[in-house]
Amino acid sequence: MLFTDSYFTIVNSSEGGLKERGSKFLSYAIPVMSEQQIKEHLLRLKKSHPSASHHCYAWQLGPAKQAYRANDDGEPANSAGKPILSQIQARDLTNIMVVVVRYFGGTLLGVGGLINAYKQAAREALDNAVVVERFIFFQYSVAFNFNDTNAVMRVLKEQEAKIISNQFVEINTIIFEIKKQNSEKMEKKFRELYNCKLEFIKLC
């Protein structure tokens, strides 16, 4: 369930990294909107760093941060993906992935050393990112008679709705997007227009 009207993500990709006892950790923070995009970016980085020892990553998706995952890519359990994810969640970010590419330097760091290295590398990339607040939008359709056209358009204008498409026939239909924070008042207004049929379509 969404208890907020907006969320925070990053504007563009950013990079960071560090060296630790011979090992090199290169970090990448990337804005993403889907698991398909995540797979594509991961494949791209693996092609860019074919000789790296590990490509560890974490991601979080959705305005409610309902989907997330961490991957250690062969490092000891919870020594890489989880520390990366902790940095994403500490900053309350979503629609983002962070990948840390490790080139092994010949010296074992131990679980504690790995946790600190992956956490710091992720932090470096996120420190270099530009964070932006984005509003959550809902998409609706409203069906109405010709006589209610002015009233419907007035509600949409007052609540700053963005019209996506419209169809004016015997029963008129408008599909629109509106900020979540304005949706409750909009729904109340349309309930007062008894001849209008409002339907929620999706979260945007």
* HSE (side-chain half, CA atoms, 13 Å) at 177: 8
3-state SS string for 104-167:
CCCCCCHHHHHHHHHHHHHHHHHHCCCEEEEECEEEEEEEECHHHHHHHHHHHHHCCCEEEEEE
Query: Which pLDDT score, from 0 to 100, does residue 174 have?
Result: 97
Supply the pTM of this predicted model: 0.83
Query: Which pLDDT score, from 0 to 100, does residue 2 have?
Result: 60
Mean pLDDT of 128-132: 97
Domains in the chain with CATH codes: 6-133 (3.30.230.30), 136-203 (3.30.70.240)
DSSP lists the bridge partners of residue 142 as 174, 198
pLDDT in tens, 140-188: 999 999 999 999 999 999 999 999 999 988 899 999 999 999 999 999 9
